[in-house]
Amino acid sequence: MFKRPILSGRPTVAEIDLEALAFNYRQIRKRVPKRTGILAVVKADAYGHGALPISHKLEELGAEYLGVAISQEGVELRRGGVKAPILILGGIFPEEEEEVIRNDLTPVIFEMDSLVRLSKIAGRKRKKIKVHLKVDTGLGRLGVPFDQFPVFLKELKKVRNIEIEGILSHFSMTDREEAYSSSQWKKFQEVLAIAREAGLKSRYFHMANSANLTFFTQYSGNMVRPGIMLYGSYPSPKIEKLINLKPVLTLKTRIHFLKSVPAGTRISYGGTFSTRRESLIATLPVGYADGYSTFLSNQGEVLIRGRRAPVVGRVCMDLIMVDVTDIPGASKGDEVILIGRQGRERITADEIARKIGSISYEVLCLIGKRVPRVYR
């Protein structure tokens, strides 16, 4: 079942399953109204999966928009040949306007200064610039404050060369406090009503992220913004019962070195683990420089020959050690799964997140650039 591999170079890789991405996209598509568009979030290098190949696949699948956090991410996609509309969710900074316009990127705006700067440049270029206007309905992060929105609209009327293509906000809660989500949605509806009364027309209005488009489909607007669920992880354990997803990323390596040690042998820095019996210890070529968290020291697990093996000792920058004493036939070169499935066993990013007191988003985003992404 588990064949001895032929080694070629450092074997630590992140394998990306584009068919799993397509499956997840279609699962999400089924959950939202037919005429509701999908803005696929590919910020942070598509949550560590590789933004350019992921974006091309999402274009192929029919995503109406792509979402990045900063303008640099959008520029990189354009240089890589991505044609779909790209929304800069985190807004733009001074002196980025020229690059944004040159690369046909759509910024999210929540400050009048940004609009004025964009307007001046657009005027010189004799063109209109599309933007999406963000209002803070309760997350307390970015956005025109809800109670200041009417005043902001009055100032907006003075700005030329700008097309408000969309109005958006962002939910704060996921699977709890529906009352709070409901109150945010109510505020968002008030925002849209105020905009209509002021004569402001926009093509899109959107607010729902992965969790909310699953729990509260009535809050979808006419575009939704799935992120983590595209990659096969769940923003809340409760969502696992509502939608079937396939993990897109498998983090794997191979046994680099094996040694048999007597009872009482200390393993790794600080000697935080000591063998209680004669043990077979495998060293793996992966560490915290690759994004394998130090919080997994003495509590992480990996899969070898379809069985779980515990991480022993502290996670090092480039290496970790695992105890393979109870894995019959464990050999140098054996495939090791750190995130993913092997045989009947599976380790998910969500499982790792629970162990280190984090979230799957961080687990995936931490996987470093020196880990090659291999697409299939």
Query: How many CB atoms are closer than 10 A to CB 39?
Result: 28
39 and 166 share one domain: yes
How far apart are alpha carbons 91 and 70 in whole angstroms? 7
How far apart are alpha carbons 40 and 209 in whole angstroms? 10
How far apart are alpha carbons 193 and 172 in whole angstroms? 22
The H helix count followed by the E strand count for the chain is: 11, 21
227 and 115 share one domain: yes
CATH number at residue 360: 2.40.37.10
Residue 161 phi, psi (nearest 5): 65, 20
Q: Is residue 2 included in any domain, yes or no?
A: no
**Model confidence at 287: pLDDT above 60:** yes
Q: Is residue 329 included in any domain, yes or no?
A: yes
260 and 228 share one domain: no
299 and 225 share one domain: no
Q: Annotated catalytic, 43? A: yes
* Range(s) of the domain holding residue 43: 18-232
Q: Which of 179, 187, 200 is nearest to 145 (CA)?
A: 187
Q: What is the DSSP letter of 367?
A: S
DSSP for 108-147, please give it. Answer: EE--HHHHHHHHHHHHHHT--EEEEEEEESSS-SSSEEGG
The residue from 189, 207, 232 where one domain ends is: 232
Which tens digit of pLDDT belongs to each residue from 58-82?
999 999 999 999 999 999 999 999 9
36 and 135 share one domain: yes
The secondary structure element, H or E, covering residue 185 is helix 178-197
262 and 308 share one domain: yes
pLDDT score of 89: 98
Q: pLDDT tier at 176 (50, 70, 90 boundaries)?
A: low
The answer to whether 344 touches 268, Cβ cutoff 8 Å, is no
**Model confidence at 5: pLDDT above 50:** no
The residue from 175, 199, 232 where one domain ends is: 232
The answer to whether 280 touches 291, Cβ cutoff 8 Å, is no
125 and 274 share one domain: no
68 and 155 share one domain: yes
139 and 176 share one domain: yes
How far apart are alpha carbons 27 and 19 in whole angstroms? 12
Q: Is residue 3 included in any domain, yes or no?
A: no
165 and 32 share one domain: yes
Q: Is residue 198 included in any domain, yes or no?
A: yes
The count of C-alpha atoms lying within 13 angstroms of the C-alpha of 376, restricted to the half-sphere facing its C-beta, is 8
Q: Is residue 1 included in any domain, yes or no?
A: no
Q: Looking at 157, 201, 269, 332, which residue is catalytic?
A: 269
pLDDT score of 33: 86
Q: Is residue 242 included in any domain, yes or no?
A: no
pLDDT score of 215: 78
Q: Which of 175, 224, 163 is nearest to 34 (CA)?
A: 224
CA 128 to centroid of chain Cα atoms: 31
Please give the tally of structural domains in the chain. 2
One-letter amino acid identity for 65?
A: Y
How far apart are alpha carbons 50 and 43 in whole angstroms? 10
Helical segments of 15-102, H only:
18-31, 43-48, 51-61, 71-79, 97-102
The model's pTM is 0.93
Average pLDDT of the chain is: 94
52 and 195 share one domain: yes
Q: Looking at 43, 134, 187, 252, which residue is catalytic?
A: 43
Residue 333's alpha-carbon distances to 175, 320, 323, in angstroms, are 43, 15, 15
Q: Is residue 12 included in any domain, yes or no?
A: no
The secondary structure element, H or E, covering residue 340 is strand 335-342
Which tens digit of pLDDT belongs to each residue from 7-55?
458 999 999 999 999 999 999 999 888 889 999 999 999 999 999 999 9
Q: Is residue 34 included in any domain, yes or no?
A: yes
How far apart are alpha carbons 321 and 286 in whole angstroms? 9
User: Where is average pLDDT lowest: 84-88, 98-102, 123-127, 310-314?
Assistant: 123-127
Q: Annotated catalytic, 238? A: no
CATH number at residue 69: 3.20.20.10
The residue from 169, 199, 232 where one domain ends is: 232
89 and 27 share one domain: yes
Q: What is the DSSP letter of 64?
A: S
pLDDT score of 7: 41
Residue 285 phi, psi (nearest 5): -85, 70
Q: Write 140-143 long-range contacts (CB < 8 A, 24+).
A: 140/172, 141/170, 142/90, 142/91, 142/108, 142/110, 143/110, 143/169, 143/170
Which tens digit of pLDDT belongs to each residue from 318-328?
999 999 999 99
